[in-house]
Amino acid sequence: MEKLMLLGDEALAQGALDAGISGFYAYPGTPSTEIVEYVQRSRQAEAAGVHRKWSSNEKTAVESAIGMSYAGKRTMACMKHVGLNVAADPFMNSAFTGANGGLLITVADDPSMHSSQNEQDSRFYGKFAMIPVLEPSNQQECYDMAFWGFELSEKYHVPVLIRLTTRLSHSRSGVSRRNPLPQNQMKKPDDLFQFMLLPAIARKKYKHLISLQSAFQEEAMKSDFNSFNMQAPDTSLGIIATGLAFNYLMDVYQGQPVPHPVLKICQYPLPERAVRELYDKCDALLVLEEGMPLVEDMIKGLAFSGSKPIKGRLDGTIDRDGELNPNKVARALCLTDTYGEDVPAVVAARPPALCVGCPHADSYLALNEAVAEYGRGHVFSDIGCYTLGFMPPYNAINSCVDMGASITMAKGASDAGLFPAIAVIGDSTFAHSGMTGLMDCVYENSNVVIVILDNATTGMTGGQEYTAAGKLEDICQGIGVHPDHIRVFVPFKKNFDDMVRIYKEEIAYQGVSVIIPRRECVQTLKKKNKMETPA
Amino acid sequence: MKKDIILAGVGGQGILTIAAILGTAAIKRGWHLKQAEVHGMSQRGGDVQSHLRLSDQPIWSDLIPFGGADMILSVEPMESLRYLPYLSKEGWIIANRTPFTNISNYPNIEDIYAAITKHPKHVLIDADAISKEIKASRAMNIVMLGAAIGHIGFSEQEISDAIRETFSRKGETIVETNLRALQAGIQAQT
């Protein structure tokens, strides 16, 4: 069969489709978005009736996936790393309920924070939840691990975490397909107590999960995705390379055999027997891992003799933060490192910026004018394109913490006496995590102005649909915002004076105001216009 | 044989199309390919780059090492310089002369040209002007591709075939426009 040229995200999606998945659940988030986008374009998915609509947020996505697993079908929830924080509650508890139909939780981490607020490493969540973790090192493994993940999940009735990172999610390479499997039939769990986490049952569930740990160890010892090459001659150093780090290791030796014993780890829990053997055999260990020093820390904590050096991110052999690359690996191995020329001083930074004609730009310029008399420091914002309003020439916002935090931070600051306290949140972010915060504000009639920038899409991730589109006023009114203080305007330069006036009126109002600047994202508009023009 | 190419530009300038065409040509040869792209926040008018690795041997790393690139192919002059740490000592800079000035502190363009032409192996052409001249203004990226292929060992025939394959769904006119752009790029650098 001809190879498909797929991003890591797409290879995983295609693998899941071929492995008989019945439903994907996700909220967009870089670098995970392309998984579900691929499935939404897939004719195979359409023909098979695979669920692939966006969820409101990662928590609802994981819960829906647990429900589909309950009903016996194979399913996957996908998110970026910080999305797993949102979904941490169902995720952790799914380790207790276990799975009926195969349940994969796919999390794409973003080391070096190309498009994120932090660079947390989701493997820690896998360890925390005590479930198997798969960390593909290339696009083919992304594809194959979908099959294996479902198999493992159904064999032990546990969810399996698949951990991707940016460089694999967004890198394209050839992938060979297998014969597709049919979907599972709908089938309720044999044990109707399985998903019932009342304390008395949950305690048994926990004991059961603990009892599975040795089986997970054995699976990692014999996994096709792990390899233990103990035969290499130079035992002055043993190398453990996980996920993508294995590629960088192979790259620096340019196809020649690595002279040191090497453990390639792409399936967890960490296979301790293999690590012990490597430790006993070698004078020192080097741990190469993309992300935080999970394996390195575990090895140090495994209470080996303790006398041999363990090198990695914790002892400074490799930078403590940021993503790996072939050069960092070469330096860690004291091999020849290469470097071109420094970037000439003449090169200026070109940071991301709001697009020309972006509605947010007009909304911000008017907001700046409206709050000028109070000085800076009154505007809490959120996660999305509009976070770029922090940059000049706008300098319009003062916070960006997590999805939905604009509203609740404005409330807390208002409770502390800050006036005015203004929240700026995108329409899709509001649907994701803003509504409950608005409810807090209404409950106490907090003195806040909440600006919901409505560009009718999830913009930053490339223009996806979202669940509350077209319903913002109804939602705000339903939550209890007074209709007189739900104000809508169209953010254009020509409306500047009206916009400033509306902002000022609602700042003056003692209570909860919602202002909705509404104009479609210029990017999605451009795409639509292109599609409507016949070729 | 391997070809490691850094494709550079500003979001929306079409570097991923260049990658797709080169990738198609490489696969026709039976070569391996890895191509790391940039998505998400950095696309919003910021600098973008793609690491394109082509080889007759299996490729491990998705990233090109610093000092390892055979070419920086940039559709914007300043962006060609941003990736110099990746360029090998023998590598080529292929850059477009027309700046994309979406920042207020864009440097003096003559200083940019000087930094490019200081490099022993460079091609600096005005792909925007050339593409307008041949009435293919949306194929500036393909003009740049034309200027590059000779220096990475791809023949005009191979790339023409790849362009046909890449654009065939969009109709013969678009294919012809892009082939014209390729041709103009090849001529511009000789």
Q: pLDDT tens digits for A336-383? A: 999 999 999 999 999 888 998 999 999 999 999 999 999 999 999 999
A32: chain B residues, CB-CB within 8 Å: none
DSSP assigned state of B4: E
pLDDT (tens digit per residue) in A229-262: 999 999 999 999 999 999 999 999 987 999 999 9
What whole-number distance in Å separates Cα of residue A286 and Cα of residue B8?
Answer: 34
Closest to B50 (Cα-Cα) out of B69, B67, B31, B32:
B69
Give chain A's mean pLDDT: 96
- Report pLDDT for A304: 63
Q: Would you call B65 and A338 a contact, using CB atoms and an 8 Å cutoff?
A: yes
Residues in Cβ contact with A35 at an 8 Å cutoff, skipping those fewer than 6 apart? A9, A10, A12, A13, A24, A26, A76, A78, A106, A108
Sheet order of strands, A512-517 included: A379-380, A421-426, A448-453, A512-517, A486-489
Does residue A33 carry a pLDDT above 60? Answer: yes
Distance from the Cα of B141 to chain A's closest Cα (Å) equals 19
Q: Would you call B62 and A350 a contact, using CB atoms and an 8 Å cutoff?
A: no
- Report pLDDT for B189: 78
How many C-beta atoms lie closer than 10 Å to residue A349's C-beta?
9
Q: B44 CB near a chain A CB, below 8 Å? A: yes
Distance from the Cα of B182 to chain A's closest Cα (Å) equals 22
Q: Would you call A170 and B102 a contact, using CB atoms and an 8 Å cutoff?
A: no
What whole-number distance in Å separates Cα of residue A114 and Cα of residue A40?
Answer: 25
pLDDT (tens digit per residue) in A251-303: 999 879 999 999 999 999 999 999 999 999 999 999 999 999 999 999 988 75
Does residue A44 carry a pLDDT above 70? Answer: yes
**Residue type at position A64:** S
pLDDT below 70 — which residues of chain B?
A: 40-43, 190
Q: 3-state DSSP call for residue A197?
A: coil
CB B94 within 8 A of CB B71: yes
Residues in Cβ contact with A395 at an 8 Å cutoff, skipping those fewer than 6 apart? A368, A376
Distance from the Cα of A282 to chain B's closest Cα (Å) equals 25
Q: Would you call A255 and B58 a contact, using CB atoms and an 8 Å cutoff?
A: yes
CB B181 within 8 A of CB B160: no
Does residue A187 carry a pLDDT above 80? Answer: yes
Length of chain A: 535
pLDDT (tens digit per residue) in B38-86: 876 666 778 899 999 999 999 999 999 999 999 999 999 999 999 999 9
Q: In chain B, which residue's Cα lies nearest the Cα of A174?
A: B33
**How far, CA to CA in Å, does A503 sit from each of A363, A380, A438, A517?**
10, 15, 18, 10
**Residue type at position B28:** K
- Report pLDDT for A124: 98
Q: In chain B, which residue's Cα lies nearest the Cα of A393?
A: B104
- Report pLDDT for A344: 96
Looking at the partner chain, which of B61, B103, B105 has a beta carbon nearest the beta carbon of A326?
B61
Q: If you average pLDDT over residues A378-403, what whole number do you get? A: 96
**β pairing state of A310-311 and A171-175:** unpaired
Residues in Cβ contact with A276 at an 8 Å cutoff, skipping those fewer than 6 apart? A302, A304
Within A166-245, strands assigned E span 171-175, 227-229, 238-242
- Report pLDDT for A305: 56
- Report pLDDT for B43: 65
pTM: 0.95
DSSP assigned state of A321: S
For A128, list phi and psi in degrees, rounded to 5. -60, -45
**β pairing state of B47-55 and B2-10:** antiparallel
CB A134 within 8 A of CB A2: no
Tell me the β-bridge partners of B33.
B54
A114: chain B residues, CB-CB within 8 Å: 38, 40-42
